[in-house]
């Protein structure tokens, strides 16, 4: 009897034999290990199907292999999707949420990435994404710091954000029936513009010239209001403890949570930025960090700045952004600045996609199950009434074009920062409104991603054309003097 063996992989073989085998043998599965298949018999096709099923069983991948494959595809999407979506009324966050829902929606997937089930993981993961985004935002701002030059930022910080917190807190009390501390936490979570998801309306990379008034205003606001919103999160936590007990809270809040933590965050961020700037650009030429060409220095500065300032109990978010601004200012035109920003942007996008895929999974797992028509109306009011009105009020009298003011007022994007603030507050105060709060915040984030994600490309392209800028032109054309300065390595 002659036979031909074909080996598949390392554990499955198919044997084509010249003599027939009985149907009873096939039904009993005899010879499966050897893989006997008889060409030309009535049972040939069925036998092949049996063998292929066996092969599929043998080569089924382990979870580790699936995860590795998924991460590889995710990294490819990080690099490719921004280019593919550049001219479309669609954003990367929308695609990520869709991917997350598709992954976690099938009933075979038992993991439910709900923040209420994993509060510590939610807080730490969102915290990581935010601090990376803050470093990236600070590094790419070309405008030299100054109170007059940054006038639009101070208006958005001093007027828009506090009014937004008060308005959202009032809505929480009047329409949702929330206690004051919980309503204040809701307002503090939803008022700040997100530094992560606002990338499409922010300035371009360092020295590219993509820094009009709108992009600068939204970038600088997103960088600073994350730190400025934290005192109100702490106020909500203080009130949750002090009001039932009747203990004083105002002095501690003003002196420690406001004065010390803000001033300390700014000072700490400046000192660390100066140290990293000196080590990177101004130490003797053979040893300065810029010579390494390794942009991971920016990640090091991020972690050191956040870690050291949190150790002394000041606002690490604020410190990281100030560190980035200071590091950029130590040698504003050095070409290594582009390397520093590039690595932070890559890590930020990758981490953002992970968070948004999990957010999509949370939606598929029932994050919005507590939502009713009243929560939907509130979410729309926050996005379409509160932010635009408070933004427009803050910019009254500001010397900018009407279209620029409208764009600044409209694009108060909510995202990962809101997730962090709410999870931080929930982990530090006791409340029975967790599920409802997560539902409202999740709905606002989802609607913001959809609304702003669909509208950002046409609005920003229209604004560029109005300003006489071709939105399809390559950015980064600089003057001869700037180009020569960039070539300087210290």
Q: Work out the angle between the directed axes of helices 336-364 and 434-466 (0-180°, nearest 10).
A: 130
**pLDDT for 486:** 38
Confidence tier at 44 by pLDDT (50, 70, 90): low
Instruction: Show the tokens assigned to 28.
Output: 């009993």
DSSP 422-443: HHHHHHHS--S-HHHHHHHHHH
Cα angle for residues 195, 197, 200 (degrees, 5° grid): 100
What is the reported pLDDT for 467?
A: 78
What pLDDT score was predicted for residue 289? 84
Instruction: Please tell me the pTM assigned to this model.
Output: 0.83
Range name among 84-98, 351-365, 371-385, 391-405 with the lowest pLDDT average: 84-98
Tokens standing for residue 365: 């797992």
Report the DSSP pairing between strands 36-37 and 12-17. parallel
What order do you get walking across the sheet with 3-8 strand by strand?
3-8, 12-17, 36-37
Convert 94-112 to b/e letters by CB count within 10 Å (16 or more is b). Answer: bbbbebbbebbeeeeeeee
Supply the DSSP symbol for 471.
T
Higher pLDDT, 469 or 381: 381
- Domains, in order of start, for the chain: 3-60 (no CATH), 82-486 (1.20.1530.20)
Among 376-385, 453-462, 470-479, name the one with the lowest average pLDDT: 470-479
What are the DSSP calls for 123-144, one per residue?
HHHHHHHHHHHHHHHHHH--SP
| pLDDT tens readout for residues 393-448 | 999 989 888 899 999 999 888 899 999 999 999 999 988 889 999 999 999 999 99
The pLDDT score that the predictor gives to residue 484 is: 41
């Amino acid at each position: 009897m002659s036979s031909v063996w074909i080996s598949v992989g390392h554990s499955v073989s198919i044997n084509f034999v010249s003599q027939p085998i009985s149907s009873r043998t096939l039904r009993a599965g005899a010879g499966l290990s050897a893989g006997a298949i008889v060409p030309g018999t009535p049972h040939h096709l069925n036998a092949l199907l049996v063998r292929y099923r066996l092969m599929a069983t043998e080569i089924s991948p382990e979870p580790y292999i699936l995860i590795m494959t998924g991460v590889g595809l995710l990294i490819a999407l990080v690099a490719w999707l921004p280019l593919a979506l550049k001219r479309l009324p669609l954003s990367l966050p929308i695609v990520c949420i869709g991917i997350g829902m598709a992954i976690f929606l099938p009933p075979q997937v038992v993991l439910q990435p709900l923040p209420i089930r994993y509060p510590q993981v939610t807080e730490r993961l969102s915290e990581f994404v935010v601090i990376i985004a803050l470093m990236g935002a600070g590094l790419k701002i070309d405008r030299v710091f100054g109170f007059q030059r940054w006038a639009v930022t101070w208006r958005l910080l001093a007027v828009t954000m506090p009014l937004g917190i008060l308005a959202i807190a009032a809505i929480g009390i009047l329409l949702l029936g929330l206690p004051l501390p919980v309503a204040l936490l809701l307002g503090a979570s939803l008022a700040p513009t997100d530094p992560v998801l606002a990338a499409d309306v922010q300035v371009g990379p360092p020295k590219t010239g993509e820094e009009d008034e709108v992009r600068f205003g939204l970038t600088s606001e997103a960088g600073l209001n994350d730190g400025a919103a934290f005192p109100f999160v702490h106020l909500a936590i203080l009130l949750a403890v002090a009001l039932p007990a009747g203990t004083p809270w105002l002095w501690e809040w003003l002196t420690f949570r406001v004065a010390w933590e803000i001033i300390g965050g700014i000072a700490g961020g400046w000192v660390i930025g100066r140290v990293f700037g000196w080590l990177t650009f101004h130490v003797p030429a053979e040893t300065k960090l810029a010579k390494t060409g390794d942009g991971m220095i920016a990640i090091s500065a991020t972690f050191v700045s956040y870690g050291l300032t949190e150790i002394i109990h000041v606002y690490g978010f604020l410190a990281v952004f100030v560190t980035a601004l200071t590091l950029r200012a130590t040698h504003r035109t050095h070409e290594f600045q582009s390397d520093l920003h590039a690595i932070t942007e890559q890590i930020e996008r990758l981490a953002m996609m992970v968070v948004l895929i999990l957010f999509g999974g949370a939606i598929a797992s029932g994050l919005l199950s507590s939502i009713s028509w009243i929560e939907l109306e509130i979410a729309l009011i926050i996005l379409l009434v509160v932010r635009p009105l408070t933004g427009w009020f803050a910019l009254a009298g500001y010397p900018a074009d009407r279209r620029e003011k409208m764009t600044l007022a409209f694009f108060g994007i909510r995202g990962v920062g809101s997730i962090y603030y709410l999870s931080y507050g929930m982990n530090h105060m006791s409340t029975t409104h967790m599920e409802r709060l997560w539902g409202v915040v999740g709905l606002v984030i989802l609607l913001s991603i959809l609304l702003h994600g669909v509208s950002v490309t046409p609005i920003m392209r229209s604004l560029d054309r109005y300003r006489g800028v071709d939105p399809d032109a390559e950015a980064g054309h600089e003057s001869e003097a700037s180009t020569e300065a960039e070539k300087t390595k210290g």
